[in-house]
């Protein structure tokens, strides 16, 4: 007999399998899996001796307590709505969707049934970014005035076993750098507060032979008066991910590659340099966000990134996709 309620994982690609593995590490083995490609689902199920569904309808008939939506982006809303309608808590991988169609219905179903939702923006669980959030909340660098948030990488190296031109990331409809790299837009609002778009410029990934967006510069204006410059691209040969936040009493810098989070004081000198623990592994972010989701369900408290926040971030991403 299982010790935990049933959890459904819908989508058994790389991220879906990661969640299956991490659920196991957290002691959850009562899992049912589904994928649009039955062969993919079967392989994932056999690895961990899990239940497998031949259709999404079969998943809902089993009445899982929670569902992890890790299918391609264009199926997120359909699957999440179906889950919410039967009273199933939902964890939805980023981005929430590639369109605003159906998101209001999803939000209504979640509210109607009193469900916990979480958009899977795992970067919120990075130790360096958690430290930045603490500093900002404590007012350590005074009033935040400006942020520069950047990520750049090379799409052909994301999934070496797959032709990048055949990936969902390459789709001009539901792919592109803006939706795939939406973490940075989410971080801008999480760290700097609510706001809206002031300007955006986007360019297609022609250097990769793609029509979808490959590079974007987004300027956000926060209600506090602060500005954020969000740079996203997947045409850059070297990998970069960093943040600089300028405050009235100091500056914060974070470098993903170096694993360093620095704070500069009012005198312009570095006052703290917190180095990422040597034993820390990238997968810990995914474990922590999954544990957060389950803990919120158990305690019946809202998650740190519910669907209503995901909708606001998606709105900004879609606005940026329209700018040229």
Task: Output the pLDDT for position 88.
Answer: 98
Residue carrying the six token digits 């299982």: 2
Six-digit token pair at 205?
């990934």
**Pairing relationship of beta strands 260-264 and 250-255 according to DSSP bridges:** antiparallel
Fold assignment, 126-275+307-321? Dihydrodipicolinate Reductase; domain 2 (3.30.360)
pLDDT of residue 186: 98
pLDDT of residue 138: 97
pLDDT of residue 47: 85
- Asked if 70 and 289 count as a contact pair (C-beta separation under 8 A), the reply is no
CB contact set of 318 (below 8 Å; sequence gap of 6+)? 99, 100
Sign of CA dihedral 38, 106, 294, 134: positive
> Beta 213-222 vs 227-233: how paired, if at all?
antiparallel
DSSP-assigned states of every residue in 9-45: EE--SHHHHHHHHHHHHTT---EEEE-SSHHHHHHHH
Element (H, E) at 79: helix 76-85
The CA dihedral of 123, 220, 149, 126, to the nearest 10 degrees, is -20
- Residue 156 in tokens: 């052909």
Output helix, strand, coil percentages for the chain, rounded to the nearest 5. Answer: 40, 30, 35
**What's the rounded Cα separation, in Å, for the pair 122 and 97?**
16
Distance CA(137)–CA(190), nearest Å, equals 11
Residue 240: in which H helix or E strand, if any? strand 235-247
User: Which residues, 6 or more positions from 24, have their beta carbon under 8 angstroms from its beta carbon?
Assistant: 48
Are the C-beta atoms of residues 216 and 202 closer than 8 Å to each other?
A: yes
The answer to whether the pTM exceeds 0.85 is: yes
Rounded-to-integer distance, Cα 250 and Cα 237, Å: 32
Question: Which of 232, 240, 141 lies closest to 192 in space, CA to CA?
Answer: 141
Range 149-179 burial, b when 16+ CB lie within 10 A, else e: bbbbbebbeeeeeeebeebbbbbeebbbbbb
Residue 324 burial by CB count (10 A; 0-12/13-18/19+): exposed, middle or buried? exposed
The CATH number given to 7-115 is 3.40.50.720
List Cβ neighbours of 195 (8 Å cut-off, separation of 6 or more).
189, 220, 221, 222, 223, 224, 226, 228
Task: Decide: 81 and 106 in contact? Cβ < 8 Å.
Answer: yes
Please list the pLDDT of the chain residue by residue as tens digits (324 residues).
356 899 999 999 999 999 999 999 999 999 999 999 999 999 999 988 899 999 999 999 999 999 999 999 999 999 999 999 999 999 999 999 999 999 999 999 999 999 999 999 999 999 999 999 999 999 999 999 999 999 999 999 998 888 999 998 999 999 999 999 999 999 999 999 999 999 999 999 999 999 999 999 999 999 999 999 999 999 999 999 999 999 999 999 999 999 999 999 999 999 999 999 999 999 999 999 999 999 999 999 999 999 999 999 999 999 999 986
Where do you find CATH 3.40.50.720 in the chain?
7-115
Residues carrying CATH 3.30.360.10, the chain? 126-275+307-321
H or E element, residue 112: helix 103-112
């Amino acid at each position: 007999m299982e010790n935990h309620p049933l959890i459904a994982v819908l989508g058994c690609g790389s991220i879906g399998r990661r969640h299956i593995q991490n659920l196991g590490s957290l002691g959850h083995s009562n899992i049912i899996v589904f994928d649009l490609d039955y062969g993919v689902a079967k392989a994932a199920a056999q690895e961990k001796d899990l239940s497998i569904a031949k259709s999404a309808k079969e998943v809902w008939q089993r009445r899982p307590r929670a569902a992890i939506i890790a299918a391609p982006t264009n199926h997120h809303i359909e699957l999440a709505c179906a889950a919410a309608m039967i009273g199933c808590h939902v964890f939805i991988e980023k981005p929430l969707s590639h369109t605003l169609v159906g998101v209001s219905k999803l939000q209504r179903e979640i509210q109607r049934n009193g469900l916990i939702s979480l958009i899977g923006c795992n970067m919120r669980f990075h130790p360096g970014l958690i430290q930045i959030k603490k500093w900002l909340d404590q007012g350590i660098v005074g009033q935040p005035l400006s942020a520069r948030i950047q990520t750049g990488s090379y799409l052909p190296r994301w999934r070496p076993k797959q032709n990048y031109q055949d990936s969902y990331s390459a789709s001009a409809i539901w792919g592109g750098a803006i939706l795939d790299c939406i973490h940075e837009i989410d971080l801008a609002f999480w760290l700097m507060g609510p706001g809206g778009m002031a300007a955006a410029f986007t360019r297609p990934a022609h250097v990769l032979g793609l029509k979808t967006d490959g590079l974007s510069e987004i300027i956000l204006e926060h209600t506090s008066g602060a500005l954020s410059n969000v740079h996203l691209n997947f045409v850059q040969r070297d990998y970069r991910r960093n943040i600089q936040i300028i405050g009235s009493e100091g500056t914060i810098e974070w470098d993903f590659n170096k694993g360093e989070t620095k704070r500069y004081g009012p005198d312009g000198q570095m006052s703290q340099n917190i180095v990422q623990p040597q034993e820390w592994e990238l997968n810990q972010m995914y474990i922590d966000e999954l544990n957060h989701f389950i803990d919120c369900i158990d305690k019946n408290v809202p998650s740190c990134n519910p669907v209503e926040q995901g909708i606001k971030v998606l709105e900004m991403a879609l606005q940026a996709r329209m700018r040229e």
